[in-house]
Amino acid sequence: MESQQLVSIAPWTLIFQICNLLLLYYLFRKFLFKPVTEILEKRKAEIDVHYAEAEKAESDAKALRADYEKKMSGAREEADRVIKTATDSANAVSENIVSAARSEAAQLKRRAESEIELERRRAFDEVKGELSEIALTIASQVIDREVSEKDHQAFIDDFIRNVGEAS
C-alpha cells in the first residue's frame, strides 16, 4: 500500500498561487494603494494648508492685538493730553473771569469814590450857599442897610474863601 503523503507539493499549484499572489499584489497596488496614498497625500496637503492658515491667522491676530494695544496707548495719551488742555483752558478762563471781576470791582470803586467826592462837593456848595445867606442876613442886620448885588457877591466870595480856609 501506498502511503499517503500528508504534505505534498504540487508544482503547478505552486506556480498558480505565486502568479495569483503577484496578480493580486499588482491589482492592489494599482487600484487600492495608489488611490489611498493619493487621498492621504491630498488630506495631508489640506491639513498643511489649514495649519498654515491657522498660523497666519494667529500671527495676524497677534499683529492686530499689538496694533490695538499701541492705539489704545496712543488713545490714553491723547485723552490725557485733552484732559490737560481742557484743565489748562478752564484755569485760564477762571483766571480771566477773576481778573475781569477784579477789574470791574476796581472800576466800580473808582466810580463810587468819584460820586462820593462829587456829592461831598455838592453838599459843601449847598452849605456854602446856606452859610452865605445866613451871613448876608446877619450882615444886613448889623449894617442895617441894604447891600447891593455887587457888595453881596463880594461879601459871599470873601466869606467862602474864609470858610474854605477854616475847614
In a domain, 1, yes or no: no
pLDDT tens readout for residues 1-33: 456 667 777 889 899 999 999 999 999 998 998
Please give the tally of structural domains in the chain. 1
In a domain, 46, yes or no: yes
In a domain, 135, yes or no: yes
pLDDT tens readout for residues 108-122: 999 999 999 999 888
How high is the mean pLDDT in each 10-residue block of the chain (167 residues)?
Answer: 67 93 94 91 96 95 94 91 93 92 93 92 84 73 65 76 63
112: exposed, middle or buried (Cβ count in 10 Å: 0-12, 13-18, 19+) = exposed
Dmax over CA atoms of the chain, in Å, equals 209
How many other C-beta atoms are found inside a 10 Å radius of the C-beta of residue 124?
Answer: 14
Q: 113: domain range?
A: 11-166
In a domain, 112, yes or no: yes
In a domain, 3, yes or no: no
